[in-house]
Amino acid sequence: MSNFTNTQILPKPIKGPGLTNAGIVVLQFLLILLVETIEYSFTNVGIATGIAILLAIFGGYYLGRPGTTFVTAVNPPIAFFISTVLLIGTVGGAGLHLARFGLDFVTTFGATAPYLIIGTGLGWVNHLWGAKFRALLSRNS
Report the amino acid identity of residue 80.
F
pLDDT digits (tens, 9 = 90+) for 78-109: 999 999 999 888 887 666 788 888 888 899 99
Of 34, 32, 81, 72, the closest CA to residue 52 belongs to 32
pLDDT digits (tens, 9 = 90+) for 108-132: 999 999 999 999 999 899 888 876 6
pLDDT at site 18 = 85
β-pair partners for 19: 64
Instruction: State pTM to two decimals.
Output: 0.80
Q: Which residues contact 68 (CB under 8 A, 6 or more apart)?
A: 18, 19, 20, 21, 24, 60
pLDDT digits (tens, 9 = 90+) for 68-84: 889 999 999 999 999 99
Specify the range with the lowest mean pLDDT, choosing from 18-27, 28-37, 131-140.
Answer: 131-140
Which run of H or E residues covers position 52?
helix 47-63
